[in-house]
Structure formats: structure tokens, C-alpha cells
Amino acid sequence: MAAIQKRNGRYRARVIRKGYPSYSKTFKTHKEASTWARQIETEIDQGVIKSSNTITNSMLDKKLSFGEAAEHYVKNHTIYKRNCKTETGTIRTLIRHWGKEYVQSINKAKVFTLRDDLLSRGRSGDTVNHYYNAISKIYQMLQTEWSMTVENPIKGMKRLPANPSRTKRINGETETALLLACSQSTSRLLKPIIQFALETGMRRGEIMGLKWIDIDLPSRRAFLHITKNGEPRQVPLTLKAIQILGDVKDAHPERVFPLSMDALRRYFDKAIKVAKENWKSEGVNPFNDLRLHDCRHEALSRLSDAGLNVIELSHISGHKTLTQLARYTHPSHEAILKKLD
């Protein structure tokens, strides 16, 4: 049967039928969710979607490999998630490690070996936890949907501690050098994108997904319909942000910054390389590990320096808890002293 729930202003449809995989997807309207759910039920009735019991039995006859189970999970679960691309990449890596091994043979020892391999290649604790989560979800599918008596190798394992929050600031000479390198890029959009990120604190995906219809210039705000936490929000635009929008208004009739995510990454990496090579000041080169996401850290820290309280900051950033916000906001020592004095 289909169930539709309203969550954070959106509608989540879920189709559950005994003997078949469960399906879920989120929509903007109740009508879209209902239409999709009916389509899934129709495909089940017509035999387009096969019984999970049938799939399981045929696969168990030849013993189910981890690769087969993982591919099935991607095709029937991952594709409906907002982080589809990220989770698919994670599962593809798992398939390269264990694709031909039987699901029953994956145990904690092999998970620990995978963990050590990821850490040796510089992957963070958070990234390793994403792999743990993907493995666990695949085995939950085998247990609940396929009724397989297989042990989840992640059960009882502790997740790795979260990474320490980054404290890098992009100000003064660093900002000047960064914007100079961006202005030398072959993309004329790179510099305004970086400046806009520093002014608004928006995520990269939120900036690149902006359309002119989302911009309310008279009220100086940008509407974000799809965000990381699933809740839409409004971001106030500074006078500098309005000026940046004016500079790119003729770039595209629909999109504010008509550039692909991959292209943005390439142009930014090249600019960082140029800025790093041209850095002449003494001490640690600030471009050694500078990331595009650091612009969001810097923007929120500047807003904190300007005196905005945590409620106002979370309204702009979209963070739901003080703990999340604290990882992104690092007030300057000078700003704190100014308030103390």
C-alpha cells in the first residue's frame, strides 16, 4: 500500500507491498507524490517490478554476490535519494573491493581492512562513516526486503569520530590574492561566484542552482527551494551581493550562474594553483589546502563578526542546531575584543 506524509513542506510517498522492495520518493506537491505512488503500484501489478522473493531465490541458487546486492540497491533505492550521485560513488567503490565476494562472507574483519585502506589514502572519519552507512543499508535491504538470514557486518561497530571543524579564514591578503587569481581565469563567472559565496554563505550547489526567478531584488533576498537539510529557506542579500548579481545579469536568461559543477571545480582548482604559486608572504601558504566550501565558513564567520546572533545566523545558513552552526562559524579574535571593550 502507498503512504504519503508531509515533511518539512514537502510530500514523501512510500510504497510498501509484502514480497516486493519498498520504494520512497519526495515531491513538492501531494498530487505529484500520489501520481508517482500509483505508477509504482501499477508496475507491481503488471509484473514490471519483480517480487523481491523471486529475485532472492534465483540469486541464492547461484549464491548472491555483494556486487549483485549492491547494484540492486542502487537501482531500487539510491536513485530516489537527493544524494544519489554521492551514494552511488560510495557503493561503486565498495563493489570494486568486494564485488565478487558472497554477501555472507563480508564480516567485520573485512570492514576494518576497508576502513584502514580508506584512512591510509587520506579519507576522513566522516567519509569512512558514509561507507559504513552504505554497507549497513545494503544488508538491511537483504534482511527486511529479501528475508535473508545474513548478518549485517556494521551492526555493533562504532562510527569514527567527526572531523574537527575547519578554522581557515579567507580575509585580507588571502582574499585579495584569491580574487586576483579568479579574475585571471578563462571563466568570467568564477570571480563573481566566489564573491557571491563570500557574501551569502550559500553552499556551492545552492549557488549554482539559483535561477533569476528565485531572486527578489526589491526585497533583497534569494529563495532556495532545495537545500541540504530538505527545508527551503530565504537568504538575505547584501548590497555587495546585489552588485554582483547586476554584473552577471546578462550571462543567461534563466540561470544566475550558468556554469556546471564540474567546470566550477576545474576553474577553482586552477585559480588556487595560480594563487599558491604567486604567494610571496612569509609563513604558511594559505592556499595549500583551501577549498571552495571554505567560502561558506568565511561568510558565516563574517556575519558573526558583524554582530548577528545565532538565530539570525541559522536563518541564513540553514543549520538546525547550534552544534552544526558552531562548526561553520569562527568569530575573529578582533571582533570578540571589540565586543568586550
Amino acid at 4: I
C-alpha cell at 142: 537483504
The SS3 of residue 253 is coil
Buried b / exposed e across 263-285, counting CB within 10 Å, b at 16+?
A: ebeebbebbbebbeeebeeeeee
Task: Give the pLDDT score at 287.
Answer: 93
Average pLDDT over residues 96-108: 93
> For residue 160, what is the DSSP state?
P
CA distance 212 to 234: 14
* In the chain, where the domains are located: 1-49, 51-163, 173-340
Strands (E), the chain: 2-7, 10-15, 23-27, 215-216, 221-224, 233-236
Average pLDDT, the chain: 85
Place of cell 508531509: 6
pLDDT in tens, 106-122: 999 999 999 999 999 88
C-alpha cell at 251: 550571462
* Per-residue pLDDT tens over the stretch 190-230: 999 999 999 999 999 999 999 999 999 999 999 998 777 66
Q: Angle at Cα 179 formed by Cα 173 and Cα 180, nearest 5°? A: 85
Distances (CA, A) of 81 to 78, 145, 193, 334: 5, 18, 27, 43
Check pLDDT > 60 for residue 61: no
User: Using an 8 Å Cβ cutoff, are 325 and 319 in contact?
Assistant: yes
Q: What is the pLDDT of residues 273-320, one digit of tens each?
A: 999 999 998 889 999 989 999 999 899 889 888 888 888 888 888 877
Provide the pLDDT for residue 337.
62
Identify the weakest region by mean pLDDT among 79-83, 250-254, 324-328. Answer: 324-328
According to the 3-state scheme, what is the secondary structure of 260-310? Answer: CHHHHHHHHHHHHHHHHHHCCCCCCCCCCCCCCCHHHHHHHHHHHHCCCCH
Q: Which of 16-25, 127-136, 221-230 has the lowest mean pLDDT?
A: 16-25
Higher pLDDT, 154 or 86: 154
Residue 50's SS3 state is coil
CATH class belonging to 173-340: mainly alpha
Cell reading at 211: 535561477
Confidence at residue 24, expressed as pLDDT on a 0 to 100 scale? 77
Domain at 51-163, CATH homologous superfamily: Tyrosine recombinase, N-terminal domain (1.10.150.130)
Confidence class of residue 1 from pLDDT cuts 50, 70 and 90? low
State the average pLDDT over residues 94-103: 93
> pLDDT tens-digit profile of 157-167?
999 987 777 77
pLDDT value for 341? 58
Residue position matching grid coordinates 520518493? 25
51-163 and 173-340, same CATH topology: no
Closest CA to 212 of 222, 204, 220, 202: 222
Q: In the prediction, which pLDDT does 58 show?
A: 47
Strand 233-236 relative to strand 10-15, pairing: unpaired
pTM assigned to the model: 0.67
Q: What percentage of the chain carries pLDDT values higher than 70?
A: 88
pLDDT at 128 > cutoff 80: yes
What is the C-alpha separation between 299 and 286, in angstroms, rounded? 17
